[in-house]
Amino acid sequence: MKRIIIAGGGIAGTIVANRLVKALSPEVDKGEVEIVVLDKTDRHVYQPGQLFVGLGLMEPQEIVKNERELLDDRIKFLHGEKGEIVKIEPQNNTVITADGVKHTYDYLVIATGSHLSWDEIPGLREAEYTAWSYEDALKMREAIQQFQGGTVVINVARLPHKCPVGPLELTLMFEDLTRRLGIRDKTRIIYTYPIPGVFGIKTTNDLMIKIFKERGIEIVSPFTVTRVDPKEKVIESQEGEKIKFDLLLGVPPHMGAKVIGDSGIGDKRNWVPTDKFTLQMKGYSNVYVIGDTTDIPISKAGSTADFESYVVTANIVNDIRGTKQKKLYDGSVFCYIATGLDQATYIRFNYNNPPIPPPPSYVHWWGKILYNKLYWTVTAKAIV
């Protein structure tokens, strides 16, 4: 029997597990293939919804489900100590969980995601509200509900981070919210970014700078935050800037999962070296890497994981069935960008073709809302 282990049950792990079980249905039903998902928690959070929760636009319970409900019944799911991975040993085709069990595999898909690394910047955790984790989104929601006006700094600490368009959305949705609450004239909004501009892709950056200027949002970049004084409410940068704030929102530094570092299989930020076309871990033909976990130069976003899941699935299926075909990932990404509380644009691009975002509209806003709603029933379950 062939065993496929999926390390991580987030967006990437769930989609690829469901896609694999569908593609390998005959083999799974005959007991020739076993698919196992390992994760510390049985709670599945739809992370793109955290920003909506943080801004008070969605209820917290709308973005959380039980992982078991999302996985095909034929997939084995282990969580808690039985699912918490403490070591990955690709040289031995083994994954070790917190209960001490060694799980051997024929194929491994690493989907351990990206995680907040607050402690890199002194004072940041005490001062900043973020929607980049579920628990923090709840705190941000409360802080925004209490906000009555003042200087708001929206800071992106380091690149890369999950959901690259998220800070743009946070800024523009928050700005629109202050208008609707009647406090825009009492609110100064400053957006700080670690490289020049507001976004890393020129075509999108140009459009967003134009929108920011039209909406009276100040831009300070490059701004590489070095420390935050929570008492004095001052954020400082490597470039010598000091900005006083009443409310600090933003994106903390990100790293790959601790288990990647503990296993010695990642770079210095725990991203796993990955072939950008085959999505195989470099040096291991039976290990694939998907979603935020990779070191490939592409957005760490849910749609990226979805596009990648087709490639990983096809390559594992072809290998199991003995066909020599290799499917290649072209770097495809699709992201909606909310530009207010009722309008959005989007970017669709790959390794060779940069995005050309259309003018923001109500139609694209509803595209984003629909995508969020269909996640549970279509995307996570790999229906298409």
| pLDDT at residue 334 in the model | 96
| pLDDT at residue 121 in the model | 98
**Alpha-carbon gap, residue 4 to 18, rounded angstroms:** 12
Amino acid identity, position 209 = I
Instruction: Say what the pTM is.
Output: 0.96
**Alpha-carbon gap, residue 175 to 146, rounded angstroms:** 15
Report in angstroms the alpha-carbon separations of 44 from 39, 41, 111, 163, 196: 10, 8, 14, 17, 35
Which residues, listed in sequence order, are joined to residue 335 by a DSSP beta bridge? 347
3-state secondary structure of 225: strand
Give the position of tokens 């979805």.
306
Amino acid identity, position 354 = P
Would you say 274 and 260 are in contact if contact means Cβ atoms under 8 Å apart? Answer: no
- Angle between helix 202-214 and helix 166-180 axes, rounded to 10 deg: 10
Cα angle 222, 125, 291; round to 5: 70
Give the residue among 296, 304, 291, 364 at the shortest CA–CA distance from 333. 304
The per-residue pLDDT string of the chain (384 residues; one tens digit each, 9 = 90 and over) reads: 999 999 999 999 999 999 999 999 999 999 999 999 999 999 999 999 999 999 999 999 999 999 999 999 999 999 999 999 999 999 999 999 999 999 999 999 999 999 999 999 999 999 999 999 999 999 999 999 999 999 999 999 999 999 999 999 999 999 999 999 999 999 999 999 999 999 999 999 999 999 999 999 999 999 999 999 999 999 999 999 999 999 999 999 999 999 999 999 999 999 999 999 999 999 999 999 999 999 999 999 999 999 999 999 999 999 999 998 899 999 999 999 999 999 999 999 999 999 999 999 999 999 999 999 999 999 999 988
Residue 372: Cβ within 10 Å count: 18
| pLDDT at residue 112 in the model | 98
| pLDDT at residue 384 in the model | 80
Cα angle 123, 125, 129; round to 5: 120
Would you say 208 and 167 are in contact if contact means Cβ atoms under 8 Å apart? Answer: no
**Alpha-carbon gap, residue 169 to 348, rounded angstroms:** 16
Does residue 222 have a cis bond before it (omega within 30 degrees)? yes
**Alpha-carbon gap, residue 294 to 182, rounded angstroms:** 43
Length of the chain (residues): 384
Cα angle 174, 179, 181; round to 5: 90
SS3 percent helix, strand, coil of the chain, rounded to 5, is: 35, 25, 40
3-state secondary structure of 169: helix
**Alpha-carbon gap, residue 216 to 219, rounded angstroms:** 10
